[in-house]
Structure 1
Amino acid sequence: MVTFKWGIIGPGNIAETFLQDLKRATSANHIVTAVFHKEKEKAAVFAEKWKIPFFYDSIHEMAKECHMNAVYIATPHPFHHKETLICLEQGIPVLCEKPIAINKMQLEEMIAASERTKTFLMEGMWIRFLPSIRQVKEICEQGLIGEIVSIHANLSYVAPKESGNRYFNPALGGGSLLDLGVYPVYLAVLLMGRPISISSRARVNADQIDEHCLINLEFLKKTFAVCESSLITNTGNTAGIYGTEGSIRICKPWNEMPECIELSDTDGNITRIPSGWDGHGFQYEVDEVFRCIEKNQLESPALTHSTSLCVMDILDTVRHQNGIYYPFDSPVPAGQKLTSL
């Protein structure tokens, strides 16, 4: 079996989850050969724990010295843009955690760099490749619930408010929308495509952080989606798709490993489809990255650049509708429409 070498940028909790699932990927012998942290001591500690041979405090040096097949970027989202560009300019394929960028402008620059350097780039929206989400998409495409009328999805995490918590830090792109709301929005876009209208309301604190967000999307043929995210209350973490001939309920936690998928018909008959796999499920996006790179593709046909742009456009619109700006944003006047919607 071929060996596929990864680099890690941002050795934190999510990187450890990624590492645990690498051994479960079936496409190749996936290993990590290098890790970056701006503090070299932390990179060294992580490298020792996970038996990674090389560690760096410079992405430029890591990119030049290590022969990596791809890099996984797991830092907070305000750093994704710069780190991705550095890697792409060195011709290193990138899997970048969601949200792939802070705003649409950043993402457009990242995609342009991918196309200019002819180097693969994919957003780490790992739920796209989970067996449960694949199954939901197939059920909908087969017409088993008829025409989709509405989608309801929510995600929450009651985050501690102690000093330094990134969820409430504007400098780190804090807020429920980019960290949690991106999941329900992505589910709606995956099933319905680009919305034709967006309306939203958010509870924004004094630091310009959206603590709770409610988004209404309208698609062609009068299909609607309600997407909710919160850092201050438990919304239930549920997802449902409702059609003219039935419905789907993804049992919680719908964005991770749901216990099952419930398929209901209009008479109330319920079919429970078991759902489960080893690990957290990151191995499925790892396998997708390998397949795409082997085929010399610049993007995944299952998670295209245009899909990531669509989701980012929605997130930008919601932020502008509610006056949510970060220190690194270029403000857009309230009520101004974004170009691609």
Structure 2
Amino acid sequence: MAKIIKWGILGLGKIAHKFASDLAKVQDAELYAVASRNALKSKEFKAQYKATKAYSSYEDLAKDTSVDAVYIATPHAFHKPHTILCLQHKKAVLCEKPFAMNLQEVEEMIACAKENKVLLMEALWTYFLPHYQFVIALVKSNKYGKLKQLKADFGFYTAYNTESRLFKKEVGGGSLLDIGIYPIFAALSTLGKPESINANATFFENGADSSCDISFNYKNVKAELHSTLLAETPTEAIFTFEKALVIIHTRFHEPTTVSIVTANTTETKDFNYKTIGYSYEIEHFNQLLRNHKIESNLMTFDFSKTLIQTLDNVREKIGLTYS
């Protein structure tokens, strides 16, 4: 019998609902405790997903000795303090992307995990999805020749609202950290670190970035990346190989299909997803925890550091700073 992993969720916004929904479909795991600063929200979430405990204090959840792992789903700016709170109470932590606000914060989180000998992983769910792993394998195989170009975008329109987390610069709101991270991830996970970066952005009245255009330059390849909160975009990832076009269809970062277009054929692969998609990272994390690991072999500390450092570099290029 596999050990049943008892989960806590810290921060009960929109993404926490998706995570809880998929957690219920994962074998040998249960939602044990939830926490929000709003006591009523915590009680309602507990009832909806049949959790055992509801807390109105993040500290109380972290102190609960029955909790094995904590999913942190608070706004970006709070990822570091909430992660460290849980790690110091010997809780394994799956922290939503972006891991933190900058490289220094991520390094502090990793150091804390190592010091306490506790598992820590960035929750960038795309990495664990079967369709994305399929495309990574294609890139590595050179089956269709060398990769010549990558185009990846992520955009949607939401009316500007300074009360929304999405637009609050002080908590990391804006297009880059919230959705631009996905096209950047697509480039880093398939092409590695770029030799140089070009980037420009537009901004809302409060200084949060509204859109960002980025070019990653490699020796023989270019990645054209785009994020925006101003308009709906295809939200695809298109890989141009010497002998084929590989398209991760909308929305490429979540469960979807992949088409392989050659000179003579078009083949579309359906991966028959049965969950929202968070189940894959949950299952990976649970197995790491059962095996007493403190770091993922897929979403490694080095990769998380490369990702946040790249985001830091892009922010420097576009003149985006956080207080």
Give the TM-score of the pair, scaled to structure 2. 0.96
Q: 2:233 aligns with which of 228, 232, 235?
A: 235
Counterpart in the other structure of 2:269: 273
Counterpart in the other structure of 1:318: 314
Contact 2:5 2:28 in 1 (8 A): yes
Structure 1 residue 158: Cα displacement? 0.6
Contact 2:127 2:133 in 1 (8 A): yes
Question: Using the alignment, how far apart are the partners of 1:109 and 1:148 within structure 2?
Answer: 35
Structure 1 residue 163: Cα displacement? 4.0
Contact 2:157 2:231 in 1 (8 A): yes
Question: Using the alignment, how far apart are the partners of 1:187 and 1:116 within structure 2?
Answer: 31
Question: Using the alignment, how far apart are the partners of 2:14 and 2:66 within structure 1?
Answer: 25
Note the 1:49-60 alignment, pairs <5 A: 49-60=48-59
Counterpart in the other structure of 1:13: 14
The one-letter code matched in structure 1 to 2:186 is: L
Question: Using the alignment, how far apart are the partners of 1:108 and 1:39 within structure 2?
Answer: 30
The one-letter code matched in structure 1 to 2:19 is: F
Counterpart in the other structure of 1:263: 260
SS in 2 for 1:84: helix
Matched, 1:282 2:278: yes
Counterpart in the other structure of 2:127: 128
Question: Using the alignment, how far apart are the partners of 2:251 and 2:60 within structure 1?
Answer: 40
Question: Using the alignment, how far apart are the partners of 1:67 and 1:205 within structure 2?
Answer: 44
Question: Using the alignment, how far apart are the partners of 2:162 and 2:308 within structure 1?
Answer: 28
Counterpart in the other structure of 2:291: 295
Give the TM-score of the pair, scaled to structure 1. 0.91
The one-letter code matched in structure 1 to 2:111 is: A
Question: Using the alignment, how far apart are the partners of 1:117 and 1:223 within structure 2?
Answer: 41
Structure 1 residue 131: Cα displacement? 1.0
Tell me the alpha carbon deviations over residues 196-253 of structure 1, each in whole angstroms, 9 at most, x when there is no partner.
211101012331111010111123x322111100000122111111112222011112
Counterpart in the other structure of 1:24: 25
Per mean C-alpha deviation after superposition, the further-off stretch among 83-92 and 65-74 is 65-74
Counterpart in the other structure of 1:305: 301
Question: Using the alignment, how far apart are the partners of 1:51 and 1:272 within structure 2?
Answer: 38
Counterpart in the other structure of 2:38: 39
Question: Using the alignment, how far apart are the partners of 2:200 and 2:313 within structure 1?
Answer: 11
Question: Using the alignment, how far apart are the partners of 1:315 and 1:159 within structure 2?
Answer: 23
Structure 2 unaligned blocks of 5 or more: none
Note the 1:161-310 alignment, pairs <5 A: 161-219=160-218, 221-258=219-256, 260-265=257-262, 267-310=263-306
Contact 2:24 2:31 in 1 (8 A): no
Tell me the alpha carbon deviations over residues 30-74 of structure 1, each in whole angstroms, 9 at most, x when there is no partner.
111111111223212221222222122222222222311110011
Q: Percent sequence identity over matched residues? A: 31
The one-letter code matched in structure 2 to 1:66 is: T
Tell me the alpha carbon deviations over residues 2-49 of structure 1, each in whole angstroms, 9 at most, x when there is no partner.
311000001122111111111332xx4211111111122321222122
Task: Tell me: CA distance 1:23–1:65, structure 2 relative to 1, closer, same or farther (3 Å).
Answer: closer
